[in-house]
Chain A
Amino acid sequence: MSDERDSGVWLRLMLVSFVANGIGPFGLKILTEMGLATQYQAQYLLYWYLGGFVFAAIALWRSGLRPHGTEVTLGALMGVCSLLGQSFTGLALSNGMPGHVVFPITTGGSLFLVASAGLLLFKEKVGPYGMAGMVLGIAALVGLSLG
């Protein structure tokens, strides 16, 4: 079996990513509980991205890789999309859209669109278990946004 198709490897990596990605935003909650979030939210994000950058720079240096043009373009575009996503969500909230509408649509909607792109543009195969998992997962995220 090729390592490229190893479901065990996929699960392990996704679980690490799942936990690390889930821990990432929790600092803002701690900051909020300390009463510092309103005053220092933008600065918090600066240091948050700085931490991420330091780790990423060390990982790149240890790998010995030199990014090529496509990676530079894609990485930069991904950074812009991430920031635009956060900014537009914030702007939607500050322009009167309620959180119980904004979060399910941005989260559930993006899952739906990305899954559709995977299936239609990249011709990915998802079986009945995967479809059921996706429906339940989107339901879970919409439920969390509404709850």
Chain B
Amino acid sequence: MNTGQVYMLLGLLSFSMLGVLHKVADVKHGRPPAINALLAVSSLVFVFAFVMFGTAGGPAVPRPVALIAIPFGISASVAILVFQAGVKHGSIATSWLAINLSAGIPTVASILIYGEPVGTKKALALALIPISMFLLWQDKKQQERRS
């Protein structure tokens, strides 16, 4: 196994562990605002350290960079907070998929705003996203009826 493959597997394990920890937080009755805040602060500390000690320019950026970054960072933080609240109403198996399906949104935005080409594979993949979400919701409804 070469170095790239090792890094890829470590990336896979890290993302998987993140999903599992969302469930552990739910099982341990973690409260979404507290979990989200601690997640945000730990990420910020590590990135700050990296920027300060690992880059030549430090934290100084042209104004547009910060003005773009901040609202999109807020959006991601909203997502984690709401996701934590949502996991309490469903399983991690389906909820983790639901949030990851959001990869379709920047793809659609890139197509609409920047006119990126849409191949058959991409079009098919995008079409599968709402179908998948619908099926996950139906599953949740069916479980509710059973209980």
Chain A residues lying within 8 Å of B3, measured Cβ to Cβ, are 95
Scan residues 47-74 of chain B and give those whose CB is less than 8 A from a CB of chain A.
47-48, 50-51, 54-55, 57, 59-62, 64-66, 68-74
Which of B20, B74, B119, B125 is A114 in contact with, Cβ under 8 Å? Answer: B20
Q: Which of B43, B70, B107 has the most CB of A within 10 A?
A: B43
Q: How far is the CB of B31 from chain A (nearest CB, A)?
A: 6
Chain A residues lying within 8 Å of B54, measured Cβ to Cβ, are 42
**Judging by beta carbons under 8 Å apart, are A130 and B139 in contact?**
yes
**Judging by beta carbons under 8 Å apart, are A81 and B18 in contact?**
yes
**A-B CB contact pairs (8 Å), 22 listed:** A6-B144, A7-B140, A10-B140, A13-B83, A21-B83, A27-B71, A43-B60, A44-B68, A51-B74, A54-B74, A80-B46, A81-B21, A88-B8, A110-B15, A114-B16, A118-B93, A129-B135, A129-B136, A133-B131, A140-B126, A141-B101, A147-B119
Chain A residues lying within 8 Å of B119, measured Cβ to Cβ, are 147
Q: Which of A16, A67, A130, A142 has the most CB of B within 10 A?
A: A130
**Judging by beta carbons under 8 Å apart, are B97 and A115 in contact?**
yes
**Judging by beta carbons under 8 Å apart, are A122 and B40 in contact?**
no
The answer for the CA separation of A18 and B128 in the assembled complex, in Å, is 15
Chain A residues lying within 8 Å of B5, measured Cβ to Cβ, are 92, 97
Q: Which of A7, A95, A96, A132 has the most CB of B within 10 A?
A: A7
**Judging by beta carbons under 8 Å apart, are A75 and B68 in contact?**
no
**Judging by beta carbons under 8 Å apart, are A137 and B101 in contact?**
yes
- Known A17-B99, A43-B59, A44-B65; contact A56-B14, beta-carbon cutoff 8 A: no
Name 11 extra pairs, CB < 8 A, besides A83-B43, A92-B4, A144-B125.
A10-B89, A17-B83, A20-B76, A22-B106, A49-B47, A59-B33, A59-B37, A74-B30, A82-B39, A88-B10, A136-B132
Chain B residues lying within 8 Å of A62, measured Cβ to Cβ, are 33
Q: How far is the CB of A66 from chain B (nearest CB, A)?
A: 8
Report whether over half of chain A's contact residues are helix, strand or loop; otherwise say mixed: helix
Q: How far is the CB of A68 from chain B (nearest CB, A)?
A: 8
Which of A28, A47, A79, A132 is B42 in contact with, Cβ under 8 Å? Answer: A79
The answer for the CA separation of A136 and B124 in the assembled complex, in Å, is 11
Type the 1/0 row for B72-106, where 1 means its CB is closer than 8 Å to any CB of A: 11111111111101101111111111111111111
**Judging by beta carbons under 8 Å apart, are A71 and B46 in contact?**
no
Chain B residues lying within 8 Å of A14, measured Cβ to Cβ, are 83, 86, 90, 95, 98-99, 133, 136
The answer for the CA separation of A109 and B18 in the assembled complex, in Å, is 13
